[in-house]
Amino acid sequence: MLVSYNWLQDFLKLNQDPKQLGEKITRTGVEVAEVKHPQEGLKKLVIGHIIDCTPIEGTHLNITHVDVGEDEPHQIVCGAPNVAAGENVVVALPGARIADNVKIKKGKLRGYESNGMICGLQEIGFADNLVPEKYTDGIYVFPEDAEIKPGQDAYEPLGMDDYIFDFDITPNRADTLSMEGSAYEVGAIVDEPVKVEDVTLKADGPDWTNDFDVQVDPKLAPKFYLRKVTGVKIADSPLWMQKRLWNAGIRPINNVVDVTNYIMLLTGQPMHTYDARAFKSGKLVVRQANKGEKLVLLNNKDVDLDPNDIVITDGNRVVMMAGVMGGLNSEIEDDTTDVILESAIFDPTLIRKAALRHANRTEASSRYEKGVNWDATMRALDMAALLLRNNAQGTVAEGVIKATDEPRKPVTIKTTASYINKVLGTTISGAEMLHIFDRLNFKAELDGDDLTVNVPARRWDIAIPADLVEEVGRLYGYDNIESTQPVLAETHGGYSKEETVLRRIKKVVQGQGLLEAISYSLTSPDKALAFTKDPKEVVAVQMPLNSSRSTLRQNLLTGLVDAASYNMARKQNQLALYEQGRVYDHEGGTYNEHEHLAALYSGNTYFANWQHEDEKIDFYYVKGQLTNLLLAIGIDLNEVEYKAEMVAGLHPTRTAGIYIKGKYVGLIGMIAHTVTMAEKSLNGAEIYGYELNLDEIIPMIIAPKTVSTPAPKFPAIERDLSILVKEDVTNQEIEDVIKANGGKYLRNLRVIDVYQGTHIDDDKKSLAYNLTFLNEKDTLTDEVVTKAMNAIMADLEDKLSAKIR
Amino acid sequence: MDLFDRLKELRDKGLAEIDKAENEEKLNDVRVKLVGRKGELTEILHSMKDVAPEHRREIGQRVNKLRDLFNDKLDDAKTEIVKALVEERLEKEKIDVTLPGRENHIGSEHPINIILDDLEKYFIGMGYQVVQGPEIETDHYCFEMMNLPKDHPARDMQATFYVDPEDLLRSQTSGDQARVLEKHDFSQGPLKMVGPGKVYRRDDDDATHSHQFMQMEGLVIDKNVTMGDLKGTLELLTKHIFGEDRETRLRPSYFPFTEPSVEMDVSCFNCNGKGCAICKYTGWIEVLGAGMVHPNVLENAGVDANVYGGFAFGVGLDRFAILKYGIDDIRDFYTNDVRFLEQFRKEER
């Protein structure tokens, strides 16, 4: 809502600096996004009277002589199609500043001297959509009723001397979507009494109410009032009204349509005028649309009506989408003489949905959906009729048709001054509160501590004591409330156990040099299930923004691969990223969310360096990092097992499922060539990653505190073991045999060499292990270790046909 | 030749040999030859039996003196040789310390999580519990429990992704409030919580809109919590994030789940309130929404609104990060360009 400072003065006395007033309104009532002063930045714009106007042959230009209040008229060359002698216009004198800080200088056009410029409204800062249609392609010409004289500043006659507050209202404060409502609000804020004019209308035409049959469903329109005005003459509105309209952001159209807009701005009550010819049937019916009905709106939009839309019909034909926009078939036209005026209240939800459904929100619909003042229906109708008589020489027919007239119970709220103070943390006296309600024009009574407040219908946002707390609080001034800290019984803040562990995991991963990424949870249906061992039923959103953001991810790696693609497209090929976040599924009829952790690596372990020690990242590097992570967070590595597995999106022979105590907890592998080669920016890069389900892992590590043990006092004994096996024997199989036979002192087992190639048979490979034995309580003897080694070797030969080397 | 002469000769010869020995091995040979168990000095001692008794004492003294001399010289020579060896090694080991080291990746937290961690720690220090709720939330908790019945116009302010008629991707973390309020046992003390997390709205992504972002919800409920407490809490919070010298203002606002509702602005840190492009020439920047919890929200969760009350606030973490770090495109948070992410590793947290 654009609220004019000048117009506000119709209702109350204001002598504040407009900008300071704007700040005060923001702090107390409604956010004022901007205080605009249209003449700001403009200079030397005056009224001019065109004395004569002669075309320059062979051009579209005219030479004019314009009286600008100086001794001599100015010669000005003007190219506007609508320039003519006798017009009163806006002249930018030499040295003037017009819109966009353009300077006007004396000059010559086609050899003719031109001392200034005759302006169109856009050229002095008007928005295109506010300029009256007939002046959009030319200069602005003042109407004859304008009280102006040549040489005076052009700002006041055009309303540009005004200050305009841009009220950025919240949905509960739709009461300020009118000048009267804004006046009440501003009056309360500055503590000035507000005067709202009533209207007395004496009809001057015959009664019409018996000639018109109106049927309205009160559920659709609890109030539906009509008047008839005959014999109107369509013309421009008087300038005073036009400038109020354009300062409020509404384009003046004609003296009938402008009246309805003006009354809506004034009272907040949306009004509509129909050409009476639309109701030749003598009938008006308000109902919900039938399937298949169509309407062409005033903005030429063809609409297929929905059975939930409220429509106005002539008993048969739809002539308006109620509360939203009229139809072309009942539009006020230049030859319109008789009009029917409507002032009504429609169901807010139905109006909101209709406007949304047809993407056709209007000034009217936005007021209806937020609520309008039930006390203004009649007054608005009478004021509109009166203005039609004044501005369009209409005759107001006797009688009002009130097709529906549902009463609304006035709101009375009982509360206490102490309750209000308790919530605010203040010590405002009862009398002071009464004064605040008086400023708001609420009738209030105080009986001891008890407050009874009668809320006027124009403040339909107020219904419960908490609403009164807000009114008192904001008008008392939030700035005046003392800042305190809650004084409460002690509470212990903190994270849940699970989240504490989760944070520790993130710290370790970060310590390993990974940058944290955050990706979108919504992805494409394909990506949602990539890199996922056992895809579950997906969660998809209704009406997605686009297909690549339609489905909730079941894995995090997909987001990291997207990040890799984004980075590699920008030549960032050294990547070490991780993400910690949730994955989502709809398994078993419930929506499930699991905390995951994923890491992605590509490039080299070290950045390129002069020593050329920049080993390429491979599966085993990433596995080593993962092993370190598991160790650091307290997983017993003896319980971790890797099994070669095939997972969509991952390399078929370089991927393993990770199991802890036999339970699947995640996977590690290389991103498949089918993925990296299909995407241009990835260009077949070697990318490795892992993903863990932290919901499985966290409970495994949440339990024990570390109980410190002293460092071993007895020396360990190390042995190396080199064996030759068939190439398809896995390290896991060998380790299983070694561990099964190593005895209780075998502490550690490490692969120290893997060899395949010349010197050994093609189908064989050689592996070497380092075994560490330790007895923490005694010196370990060679015999014990040798015995264990012999057992290991025998079993390796036996089970895996290994050759000990 | 008498023993005296032999000693003198041995002295000269010995010193010359020590001098000549160029490495540890040779020096050791010389040591064995001169002062070893079967060395020349020992031999001289052995020949004492042939010496007149009156000279024995003097010979003995001279032998000891010469042994001391040899030992000293041998030690000195050894020191010299070792020193030379070390010097030779040092020469070989000389490196250019100005050449660069081998660098690898440095880990860092995402900027939004840096802000989040900081805020969580701040609130934990003040006794708030950190609470997590589901991102796939029910309409019931996300809206209805929060005083937003179906068809409430304020639902249009938050275009929501539904996954079915009753379930949705939460468009606000407020649902956590309702869940915690239902569970909290007020006989065990006041309720103080913050609930951070991802939220989703049907906004097309552009420089200032994101269909996914992060919020943090705060809630304090007890018998005597006031709007003054809310004001004090928010002022401390904004100063913690944006600096001690920031001014703040509260403005009336509207949220269905609070009454009164306010928004807090801080004085623009770019222009200090004078007006600039960042604050859209108002001098103020909106940073959060808050209010006193609406009685309906308390009653919906089974809390007696006549006895208990308090405040709630919600902050946009993306917005905090944007303001704090001067980021001009919200999409930067989610494209994960490493050059963007790396710059936050020096941030305090």
Look at B225 and A570 and tell me if their CB atoms are within 8 Å: no
For the beta carbon of residue A105, count every other beta carbon within 10 angstroms. Answer: 11
CA separation for the pair A285, A267 (Å, rounded) = 26
pLDDT at A256: 95
pLDDT at B39: 86
CA separation for the pair A541, B202 (Å, rounded) = 10
Is B181 within 8 Å of chain A by CB? no
pLDDT at B348: 65
Residue with tokens 């056009």: A109
CA separation for the pair A194, A418 (Å, rounded) = 29
* Of the candidates A531, A512, A744, the residue with the CA atom closest to the CA atom of residue A633: A512
Q: What is the pLDDT of residues B222-231, one digit of tens each?
A: 999 999 999 9
Nearest CA in chain B to A490: B127
Q: Residue A337 in contact with residue A291, Cβ under 8 Å?
A: no
DSSP A407-459: --PPEEEEEEHHHHHHHHT----HHHHHHHHHHTT-EEEEETTEEEEEEPTT-
Q: What is the pLDDT of residues B267-282, one digit of tens each?
A: 987 788 888 887 888 8
Q: What is the ipTM of this complex?
A: 0.86
Look at B335 and A487 and tell me if their CB atoms are within 8 Å: no
DSSP A460-498: TT--SHHHHHHHHHHHH-GGGSPP-----S----B--HH
**Which chain B positions have a beta carbon within 8 Å of A372's beta carbon?**
none
CA separation for the pair A576, B107 (Å, rounded) = 8
CA distances from B264 to A624, B104, B233, B237 (A): 49, 43, 11, 11
pLDDT at A704: 65
**Which chain B positions have a beta carbon within 8 Å of A574's beta carbon?**
105
**Which chain A positions have a beta carbon within 8 Å of B134's beta carbon?**
591, 593
Look at A27 and B335 and tell me if their CB atoms are within 8 Å: no
Which of A460, A502, A541 would best serve as a mutation to test chain B binding (most B beta carbons within 10 A)? A541
Any residues with CB less than 8 A from the CB of B142 and at least 6 apart, and which? B160, B168, B170, B171, B172, B174, B175
Is A166 within 8 Å of chain B by CB? no
Helix, coil or strand: residue B32: helix
Any residues with CB less than 8 A from the CB of A186 and at least 6 apart, and which? A8, A12, A14, A21, A25, A29, A192
Look at B123 and A493 and tell me if their CB atoms are within 8 Å: yes
Question: Which spans in B103-203 are helix H?
Answer: 111-125, 139-142, 175-183
Nearest CA in chain A to B286: A31
The radius of gyration computed from the CA coordinates of chain A, to the nearest angstrom, equals: 41
pLDDT at B283: 86
pLDDT at B35: 86
**Which chain B positions have a beta carbon within 8 Å of A593's beta carbon?**
134-136
Res. B156: pLDDT tops 80: no
pLDDT at A132: 95
Res. B70: pLDDT tops 60: yes
Res. B239: pLDDT tops 70: yes
Entry pTM: 0.86
* Of the candidates A153, A173, A63, the residue with the CA atom closest to the CA atom of residue A115: A63
Nearest CA in chain B to A521: B212
Give the number of A-B residue pairs with CB atoms closer than 8 Å.
Answer: 258
* Of the candidates B162, B179, B181, B178, the residue with the CA atom closest to the CA atom of residue B170: B162
Helix, coil or strand: residue A242: helix
Angstroms from A177 CA to nearest CA on chain B: 16
* Of the candidates A94, A104, A135, A113, the residue with the CA atom closest to the CA atom of residue A56: A113
CA separation for the pair B136, A585 (Å, rounded) = 10
Angle among Cα A161, A166, A171 to the nearest 5 degrees reads: 155
With a cut of 50, list the residues of chain A below it in pLDDT. none
Q: What is the pLDDT of residues B34-44, one digit of tens each?
A: 888 888 888 88
Res. B1: pLDDT tops 70: no
Nearest Cβ partner for B229 among A485, A513, A611: A485
Is B159 within 8 Å of chain A by CB? no
Prior bond of B53 cis (ω within 30°): no
Angstroms from A742 CA to nearest CA on chain B: 38
Q: Which of residues 119-148 of A touch B (CB under 8 A)?
A: none
Is B38 within 8 Å of chain A by CB? no
DSSP state for residue B272 in the 8-state scheme: T
* Of the candidates B127, B320, B148, B288, the residue with the CA atom closest to the CA atom of residue B220: B127
pLDDT at B334: 97
Nearest CA in chain B to A422: B226
CA separation for the pair A475, A755 (Å, rounded) = 84
